Amino acid sequence: MTNLKKAILLLIGALFVFGGKDAMAQANKSNTGTSGDQSKQEKATSSKAKAKDKKAAETTTNTNRKAKSTTTVDKAGNKSHTQAWDSKTKIEKDKPEKASSTK
Protein backbone atom coordinates (compact mmCIF):
# COMPACT_ATOMS: atom_id res chain seq x y z
CA MET A 1 0.00 0.00 0.00
CA THR A 2 1.36 3.40 -0.92
CA ASN A 3 1.89 6.09 1.68
CA LEU A 4 -0.78 8.19 0.00
CA LYS A 5 -3.35 5.41 0.29
CA LYS A 6 -2.48 4.91 3.94
CA ALA A 7 -2.88 8.63 4.58
CA ILE A 8 -6.25 8.72 2.86
CA LEU A 9 -7.56 5.66 4.69
CA LEU A 10 -6.46 7.16 8.01
CA LEU A 11 -8.22 10.43 7.20
CA ILE A 12 -11.41 8.62 6.23
CA GLY A 13 -11.11 6.72 9.50
CA ALA A 14 -10.75 10.02 11.34
CA LEU A 15 -13.94 11.29 9.73
CA PHE A 16 -15.77 8.20 10.95
CA VAL A 17 -14.45 8.62 14.48
CA PHE A 18 -15.28 12.33 14.42
CA GLY A 19 -18.69 11.50 13.03
CA GLY A 20 -19.50 9.10 15.85
CA LYS A 21 -20.80 5.90 14.31
CA ASP A 22 -22.22 4.79 17.65
CA ALA A 23 -24.25 7.97 18.05
CA MET A 24 -25.76 7.44 14.64
CA ALA A 25 -26.68 3.86 15.45
CA GLN A 26 -28.22 5.02 18.72
CA ALA A 27 -30.20 7.74 16.99
CA ASN A 28 -31.45 5.19 14.49
CA LYS A 29 -32.51 2.81 17.25
CA SER A 30 -34.61 5.43 18.97
CA ASN A 31 -36.26 6.50 15.74
CA THR A 32 -40.02 6.57 16.09
CA GLY A 33 -40.64 7.69 12.51
CA THR A 34 -43.26 10.40 12.25
CA SER A 35 -42.56 12.48 9.21
CA GLY A 36 -42.95 10.07 6.33
CA ASP A 37 -40.50 8.61 3.90
CA GLN A 38 -38.37 11.47 2.64
CA SER A 39 -36.66 9.45 -0.03
CA LYS A 40 -40.07 8.95 -1.67
CA GLN A 41 -40.69 12.64 -1.37
CA GLU A 42 -37.38 13.40 -3.01
CA LYS A 43 -38.35 11.22 -5.95
CA ALA A 44 -41.57 13.16 -6.23
CA THR A 45 -39.80 16.50 -6.34
CA SER A 46 -41.30 18.47 -9.16
CA SER A 47 -38.07 19.97 -10.35
CA LYS A 48 -38.23 20.62 -14.06
CA ALA A 49 -34.69 19.65 -14.85
CA LYS A 50 -33.97 19.75 -18.52
CA ALA A 51 -34.47 16.50 -20.41
CA LYS A 52 -30.82 16.11 -21.32
CA ASP A 53 -29.81 16.49 -17.68
CA LYS A 54 -32.33 13.84 -16.65
CA LYS A 55 -31.01 11.46 -19.27
CA ALA A 56 -27.46 12.07 -18.15
CA ALA A 57 -28.51 11.54 -14.55
CA GLU A 58 -30.19 8.25 -15.36
CA THR A 59 -27.14 7.06 -17.22
CA THR A 60 -24.90 7.90 -14.29
CA THR A 61 -27.28 6.30 -11.81
CA ASN A 62 -27.28 3.11 -13.83
CA THR A 63 -23.50 3.14 -13.82
CA ASN A 64 -23.50 3.69 -10.09
CA ARG A 65 -25.70 0.65 -9.54
CA LYS A 66 -22.92 -1.53 -10.89
CA ALA A 67 -20.73 -0.50 -8.01
CA LYS A 68 -19.36 -3.23 -5.80
CA SER A 69 -19.20 -2.62 -2.09
CA THR A 70 -16.04 -3.41 -0.18
CA THR A 71 -15.40 -3.03 3.51
CA THR A 72 -12.27 -1.46 4.94
CA VAL A 73 -11.29 -1.29 8.59
CA ASP A 74 -9.17 1.55 9.95
CA LYS A 75 -6.72 1.41 12.85
CA ALA A 76 -9.44 2.35 15.34
CA GLY A 77 -11.46 -0.66 14.20
CA ASN A 78 -14.15 1.37 12.41
CA LYS A 79 -15.59 -0.31 9.38
CA SER A 80 -16.34 1.74 6.32
CA HIS A 81 -18.05 0.68 3.15
CA THR A 82 -16.20 1.92 0.15
CA GLN A 83 -17.73 1.33 -3.21
CA ALA A 84 -15.53 0.30 -6.07
CA TRP A 85 -17.17 2.15 -8.92
CA ASP A 86 -17.11 1.37 -12.58
CA SER A 87 -16.86 5.05 -13.42
CA LYS A 88 -14.43 5.70 -16.21
CA THR A 89 -11.54 8.02 -15.65
CA LYS A 90 -11.20 10.63 -18.35
CA ILE A 91 -8.04 12.44 -19.28
CA GLU A 92 -8.77 16.15 -19.55
CA LYS A 93 -6.81 19.26 -20.32
CA ASP A 94 -6.79 22.39 -18.24
CA LYS A 95 -10.07 23.99 -19.31
CA PRO A 96 -12.69 26.18 -17.65
CA GLU A 97 -15.25 24.49 -15.41
CA LYS A 98 -18.84 25.47 -16.09
CA ALA A 99 -20.92 26.83 -13.25
CA SER A 100 -24.62 26.00 -13.21
CA SER A 101 -27.05 26.12 -10.36
CA THR A 102 -28.56 22.86 -9.17
CA LYS A 103 -29.67 24.13 -5.82
Q: Kindly list the residues in this chain that would bind other proteins in the complex (CB under 8 A).
A: 2, 4-5, 7-9, 11-12, 15-16, 18-20, 23-24, 26-28, 30-35, 37-39, 41-42, 44-50, 53, 56-57, 60-61, 63-64, 80-85, 87-103
Least Cβ distance, residue 9 to other proteins (angstroms): 7
Nearer Cβ to other proteins (31/77): 31
Phi/psi-derived region of residue 95, left when phi > 0, alpha when psi is between -120 and 50, beta in every other case: beta
Half-sphere exposure of 52 (CA within 13 A, CB side): 0
With 0-12 / 13-18 / 19 or more C-beta atoms within 10 angstroms meaning exposed / middle / buried, residue 25 is: exposed
Q: If DSSP codes are grouped into helix, strand and coil, which group holds residue 88?
A: coil
Least Cβ distance, residue 33 to other proteins (angstroms): 5
Nearer Cβ to other proteins (45/77): 45
- Quote the distance between the C-alpha of residue 17 and its chain's center: 18
Least Cβ distance, residue 94 to other proteins (angstroms): 4
